[in-house]
Structure 1
Amino acid sequence: MPKSPTPSRGPRTLIGVLATIVAVVIGIMLVSALDKTAGGEIAVVRNGGPLDNNQVRQVVDPASSLTYTGLFSQVHKYPAQQRFYTITATGGGDRGGVDVEHDPTSDGVEVGIEGTIYFTLTNDHDALARFDDKYGTRTYLGVDHGAHAAWEGDDGWNAFLDQIVRPVISNDLRQQIGDFRCQELQAACALVQSGATASATATPAAAALFNGKAGAQNNVNIQKIQNAINTSLEQDLNTTLGGPFITGVRFSLAHVTLPAKVQASIDDAQAEFAAVSKSQAKVAQAQADARANESRQDGYSKCPACATIDTLKAIPPTVTTFAPGAGFAITQPGK
């Protein structure tokens, strides 16, 4: 009796390969649907499946365990701890580039402002979801001239701060700086604005600068600016952004700098002022010496012997014989 034909192994092998591929794909999809946050970040999860909507699915708190975020979802991770935005000539902070804020004082001097704003992005789930709707679904131009979303690492976050947050900070600083004159923020302005040069005696404003009173008042005024900004900036930010997205705002004003030409004039005025002070000191010393000599001479007139005694005392020890005139000489003992 003839043997029945052995079934071909080709179809079974193909089925096994396809099953393996499907299992791997499903495994990858399931793994990609799991995510977690680090201690310093909070995540907004948006639906992203081919048949799903793109609405916010959930918010994952900082330092979470592995969490199911859904197939094809998009996870937007934001900073959850205190951050800082630094305006400085040397760089630093949560921002791109290096710059100084320039604002005019009430008397028209454009001063440079360097400082740091400390703040925290809200961790409230509803508010953060609204923030992501408004600012996490668009891109911002970074210092590298590339487009970045706010949740795309430091480049994206810095680009968001520079384009959305910085204008609000600039507006608040401009309003506060405009309430003060230059010398109320930078004492050295008194030297060029009050004309305290070598051709004139120091003015009261310049005198206040050099005795420290103006500097102390500058510190008081800088503190006033900080307090005013701390009161207004958080409200202004959230009003502009359209929700309670930024919390814990604190501003620290580090430096008030002057335009290069103004600073050069101040340096010249300080040098001239120092020269005047030096000359005045020499005049005062000469006057004091003249008064002392006049008083000494008056005493010698009343006591001629005192003049002789002082003369003898003034003889250097190296002189063996002192002969001021004919018929008179003094030889020191032992010489």
Structure 2
Amino acid sequence: MPSFACIGAAFPAWARALGIILLALPRAVPAATYKWLDEEGRVHYSDSIPPEHSQQKHARLDGQGRLVEIIEGAKSPATIERERALRHLRAETARLVEEQRKLDDALLRTYASEEDMRLALNDHLTQSDASINLLEKYRARHADVLRTQEKHAADMERQGLAVTAQVLKAMEDERRRIADYKDKIRVLEDKKRVIAARFGRDIERLRSLKAEQARSGRGALGEVFASDDGNGVLSAVACSSDAICAKVWALGRGYVLSKADTPLAIDTERLVYTSVPLADREIALTLARIAGPEEETVFLDIRCRQSSLGRELCASSRVQDIRAGFRARVEVEMGAVP
């Protein structure tokens, strides 16, 4: 019986070369697989889309089950309106974010450190104190004049003389001047408190910005937004009065802090914004209070890391649950969405 070596040698060179080429060719890739949902929300996989579902949104997968393409289905008027509303809310949120970033950039350009801000605050307070001290001297001087006039009027009365209109007017003029100086001093004292409070907030903001700069330098790749899940419900609540909007806003802020994976970066009366996600499994949230012609809208948006895993996260059931849970939380706490 011939050995394998002998059998191999018996084949001509061109046959052996052809065999090597055939072995090197890739195996046949299975036909494209489609993923789609039926009316009850059940997931289906098949090598073709049933005609009755061909106009609905579905996905095309490769032979290894990886997403190749998302085919958007025909959009209903309700879907088109929801997408328009979502674009508007995101544009208004982006405007609020940009306004805050301009303020932050101005703060960073003006002050290099917290110590610089404290020195500037001290200068403001010193100038206000100097003005207050000067006004206090004027007030004290007129108070002395008034006491002299009042003593003179009392002496006249003890002597049985009527206090003249001239003396009475002079005392009234002094009292008015003293009251005017007191008002000016009170205004400056209030201004000092306002300046101190503003610098206190700005110092906290500068500290937050420095921390955010240090954090974002450790792996920030940018962000993507969670896509519309097609359930017909936006993560937005409309409110028609200041009292109701304030309550909805407080509920939304608490919800953001409980659900976001990233730390708070912006916290104002109209914007709550958590830091950019640095990890693929981190979810960042934005809450915006958007003014309208007749009512306000409190809008929650969801952001993920700009990576393949981040995009998968933004399309996951966890993100859908966060979106749906926002309105549910408000409904429970408020009794009904206003």
TM-score under structure 1 length normalisation: 0.22
TM-score under structure 2 length normalisation: 0.21
Higher CA-based Rg: 1
Higher helix share: 2
